[in-house]
């Protein structure tokens, strides 16, 4: 029988390959304490590797039940950074669910692909043309336009419906998608005819097919993920549902690429990602071009929204902290509009951003990784063919690392103990060679939006909004969109 390993400091517990409840795990732990841990897995016998301090048992248990082909390790503070950085070469292979395998066209994405030549080439293209520092300078106009559009829409809401709640997500999501389309295909596509679907799709329908449907499909449960030895058994219902999502996405991407080719043929200079992929990267297949072009669309449209919406929710819930941020912005900007150049001048804004990443990490669990060779992480010997699950949420809720972790407290990043510039502290953007390629863009958009919206409007929650803190989907969206009461601030 295949064994699956869960790690507790100074203890390694074998369990059978299935999902078990916490009481069963606790019983296994108590039984194992009566015996000596396997010598080859003892931290004391791993020379040159730091000891692992006692980790919270609750975090361990919450992350330990992971479907596996062979072995499984739940990684938490303080072994998350070594897993992502120092031991990265040994665990660089991704392990995906059946749904994600189909949705990513078998890892044909920078964020999901294994660390190989394709990954290096694709990431280089993405950074050079969309998400890197120089690319972000070129695309600055798109972000500035986005902020003006968002501000205009909120002002229009106050003018037309001053007593009604504003749907933050509806406005922000639409403008984020517009930015992603400009970067990918050179313009905002308001509508497009899709031959395979025999219909003309609106911008909202394009967004649904390219973003929302895929994010919902990513969490589709396939029972075969939990019983790998039964993977040969058909599960047509799930397979057909996921394949339908992929077919519709591919049809829309084909239409967008075809439309871009037509503009290029007319001599138009697109200055966007699709132009580069079509003209400069000759080794890519049509499927690879489609997937690489789709990736920045979904990543720009989703993860940045998560962080910004949660930050505005917390600020609207806490008038005192919102007022502190407003006063700091006023002391820097005065009557001038808040811009990207002002981000570094308002340290409290950095605290708001990083504290939101800590409490509401967009990806609470790092996608499973596969140890393709024997290695050591945090003082533990990890045999080849183990699966590594890194519990970001557990790390950021560890009471030994964070004081009162359940509290949203931006000040914790201003006390000198936590540097807002240290992205490794919350691990929200990953670390090492697989650090999130879009971290710069996400920071610029989220911080500028938060600063500008607090500068221009006073935010308050509707009654009962405090209780709506559930999450849904592959990333940690609020279960319900943020609906707030906004008022203009005095000039």
C-alpha 153/C-alpha 194 separation (Å) is 30
Q: Which of 272, 244, 269 is nearest to 256 (CA)?
A: 272
SS3 label, residue 380: strand
Specify the pairing of strand 477-478 against strand 471-472.
antiparallel
- Inter-residue contact 482 to 450 (CB < 8 Å): no
In this structure, what token pair is assigned to residue 398?
A: 């560890």
Dihedral sign from CA coordinates of 397, 400, 405, 410: negative
Beta carbons within 10 angstroms of residue 125's beta carbon = 18
Structure tokens at 297: 């669309």
Residue 21: partners with Cβ closer than 8 Å, 6 or more residues away: none
Contact present, 181 and 215 (Cβ < 8 Å): no
Distance, first Cα to last Cα, the chain: 70
**Quick count: other Cβ atoms within 10 Å of Cβ 152?**
11
In three state form, how does the secondary structure of 48-87 look? CCCCCCCCCHHHHHHHHCCCCCCEEEEECCCCHHHHHCCC
The residue behind tokens 């016998």 is 45
Q: Is residue 447 annotated as involved in ligand binding?
A: no
Tokens of 33: 């304490």
**Nearest alpha-carbon partner for 131 in 362, 291, 300:** 300
How far apart are the C-alpha atoms of 300 and 304, rounded to whole Å? 6
Number of H helices, E strands in the chain: 17, 15
List the structure tokens of 101.
């395998």
Contact 435, 429 (CB under 8 A): yes
Instruction: From residue 357, give the alpha-carbon distance in Å to each of 5, 309, 361, 440.
Output: 30, 11, 5, 14
Cβ within 8 Å of residue 183, ≥6 positions away: 130, 139, 142, 272, 273, 296, 300
User: Measuring CA to CA, which residue among 98, 94, 78 is closest to residue 86?
Assistant: 78
Q: Which residues are annotated as a binding site?
A: 436
Q: Which residues are annotated as a binding site for heme?
A: 436
């Amino acid at each position: 029988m295949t064994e699956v390993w869960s790690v507790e400091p100074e203890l390694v517990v074998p369990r059978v390959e299935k999902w078990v409840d916490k009481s069963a795990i606790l019983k296994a732990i108590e039984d194992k304490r009566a015996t000596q841990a396997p010598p080859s897995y003892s931290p004391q016998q791993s020379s040159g590797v730091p000891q692992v301090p006692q980790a919270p048992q609750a975090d361990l248990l919450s992350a330990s039940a992971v479907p596996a082909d062979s072995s499984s390790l739940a990684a938490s503070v303080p072994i998350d950074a070594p897993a992502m950085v120092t031991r990265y070469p040994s665990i660089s292979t991704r392990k995906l669910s059946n749904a994600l395998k189909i949705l990513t066209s078998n890892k044909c994405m920078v964020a999901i692909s294994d660390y190989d030549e394709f990954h290096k080439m694709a990431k280089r293209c993405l950074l050079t043309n969309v998400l890197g520092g120089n690319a972000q300078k070129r695309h600055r106009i798109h972000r500035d336009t986005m902020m003006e559009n968002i501000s205009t829409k909120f002002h229009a809401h106050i003018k037309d419906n001053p007593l009604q709640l504003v749907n933050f997500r509806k406005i922000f999501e639409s403008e984020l998608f517009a930015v992603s389309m400009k970067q990918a295909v050179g313009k905002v596509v308001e509508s497009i005819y899709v031959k395979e679907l025999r219909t003309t799709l609106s911008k909202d329908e394009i967004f649904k097919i390219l973003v929302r449907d895929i994010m919902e499909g990513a969490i589709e449960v396939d029972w075969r993920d939990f019983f790998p030895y039964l993977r040969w058994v058909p599960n047509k219902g799930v397979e057909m549902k996921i394949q339908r999502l992929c077919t519709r996405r591919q049809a829309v991407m084909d239409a967008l690429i075809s439309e871009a080719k037509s503009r290029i043929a007319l001599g138009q200079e697109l200055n966007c990602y699709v132009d580069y992929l079509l003209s400069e990267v000759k080794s890519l297949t049509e499927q690879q071009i489609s997937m690489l072009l789709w990736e920045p669309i979904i990543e720009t449209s989703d993860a940045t929204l998560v962080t910004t919406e949660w930050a505005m929710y917390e600020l609207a819930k806490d008038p005192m902290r919102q007022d502190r941020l407003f006063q700091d912005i006023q002391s820097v900007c005065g009557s001038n509009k808040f811009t990207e150049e002002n981000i570094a001048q308002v340290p409290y804004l950095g605290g708001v951003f990083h504290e939101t990443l800590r409490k509401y990490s967009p990806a609470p669990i790092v996608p499973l990784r596969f140890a393709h060779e024997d290695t050591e992480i945090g003082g533990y010997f990890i045999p080849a063919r183990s699966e590594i699950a890194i519990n970001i949420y557990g790390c950021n809720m560890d009471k030994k690392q964070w004081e009162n972790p359940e509290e949203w407290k931006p000040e914790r990043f201003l006390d000198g103990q936590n540097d807002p510039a240290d992205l490794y502290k919350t691990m929200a953007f990953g670390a090492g060679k697989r650090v999130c390629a879009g971290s710069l863009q996400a920071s610029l958009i989220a911080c500028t939006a938060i600063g500008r919206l607090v500068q221009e409007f006073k935010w308050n929650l509707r009654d009962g909004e405090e209780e709506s803190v559930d999450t849904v989907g592959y990333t940690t969206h609020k279960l319900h969109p943020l609906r707030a009461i906004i008022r203009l601030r005095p000039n």
